[in-house]
Structure 1
Amino acid sequence: DLWPEIQSTLGDDCLIAHNASFDLGVLMACLESHDHPVPDMQYSCTRAIARRTWPQQPRFGLKPLSDWLGIRFRHHDALEDSIACAKIALAAAEDSGASTLEALETKLSLSRGSAGAWGKKGPTARRASTRRKSSPRRASTRTSEVAIAGSTMATATMSNTSVSTAPPRPCGISDSGVDLQRLMIRADFIRPLEGRKVVFTGVLTKLQREEAEILTSRCGGKCQSSVSRKTDLVVVGELDSRTVNAGRTMSSKEATARQLADEGAAVKIMTEQEFLEMIIAM
């Protein structure tokens, strides 16, 4: 009874589902069983998109991928499954630097799936699959968009003017084993440092300083060069040689933060490890 309204809503837009060949098969079977003609449809699959975007991942189910990306949702609820699917598509677009579904498919060499009264043909790789390395992040004020079922969902506009153009480490893994790629993608959705001002001091051992500053920005925070009463968080690394040679037991930034904390300022001091654990746990 609802199909005419559903079909009108879909129009000629591309359907997106996770393991989409199954969903399209169910939809087509339902239409046939209720004597509705199967219209010509185009579709894409976030499972196939994820396989091309993050080939190093061990599992590509909706729940494992959502867990890895930090997408919280109630599994097997139709609406929440759909939103999670959309966010996986958006994360892949953001990671690939694509602003439309067509651009994402082109970057991944992935064809569009199609279906109709004649049957269906799922999305396929246009050439042999290779283990694609993520593209370097570029400074941008562009909002990444992927059109999904007649509506447009957008990630937060990024404006990172200090992003390095140096190639990322393989799979986003730093020398210390931190999955930097995962943290960056999670940050786009969770933004655990939204509105907070952060100062780094000392020598970081798990992230490069530039990586830490970019991660902070992606998490919604803002890096400061010095500690003030407006500072929310001071992340303390190991003492550098200048501090040690001066005979001090902490950096001047940490000393200022501790003094402000003693005076009642709401500044929190933590180690680099605690900083990473806080972001991962959010």
Structure 2
Amino acid sequence: MPVDFTAIDFETATRASDSACQLAAVRVRGGKIVDSASWLIRPRPFYFSPQNIQIHGITPAKVRGEKEFGELWPTIRQTFGDDCLIAHNASFDLSVLIACLTTHDHPIPEMQYSCTRAIAKRAWPHLPRFGLKPLSDWLGVRFQHHDALEDSIACAKIAIAAAEEANAESLEDLEKHLKLSRGTAGPWGKNGPKFVRSGRASSSATSRLPKPAPEPIVDAMMTREGTDLQRLLIRAEFVRPLTGKRVVFTGTLTRLQREEAEQLVACCGGQCQSTVSRQTSLLVVGRTDARTLDAGRRISTKEEKARQLIAAGAPVEIVSEDDWLASIASL
């Protein structure tokens, strides 16, 4: 099976996309892992957020004596070669790569890439979750999550497993079988892999693949057990979907702590309010508080006020915590 590619994974020091502190690359030739490399990176500026340290365990002391990304890039570029790069949630990793190149004044090369999350959705649409950890557990791949080298190896094994199941003769053959386009990136930005709908869907066996099951909110990026807040923040910062909007929370949040949710709002470009008013754009509803139930009410006073304003014509939107996080994760 001549399936060739290089799987990569970044870890970052903060929510800033140019703060890479670790990168790994795993080379696959003929459907087998043949080589790997990993670099610890000193970020610029030299600062780590406590939340990111909690996710990956990389501290300032571990990278204090390491080179910055700009110094490492010639070696990294040689390691990548002309391979198609594959990552899990590849949009994140390619965004980090492009941002680091920009910050360190290196030209951005033309690149091709794919994503094992997109591959898995097409290869195994019956699965309920498509995070790196759930997929690896399902395939029997054991690894240490949020170590760049371990994540890269797990990513490579997912792509290899999909190719083996499809009996694909190459990465291009796998993409054709799954009806996925190849992602591209360069100085102009990036355009990720997408499902390609043919004009005559019924004429092809592969076109009869069942649609991927909708992902529940408990996907790896959003579950309270191991919430990948770092990647959610970076995704939000790139798009800033709440720019100019005011957000109010009510009830008990179960996916994020209240401080994390407020940080996410700020990263989205929004502003938090403590009370609902005509200036409120969005009310995010968590689990109903016990005190609300004790008072014999089904909804909080904030939600009741929001509904009154909506009835009066105010443009207030009410969403659940799950739906709010899902909308950000799907950007």
TM-score range, shorter chain: 0.3 to 0.5
TM (normalized to structure 1)?
Answer: 0.46
* Pair member with larger Rg: 1
More strand per residue: 1 or 2? 2
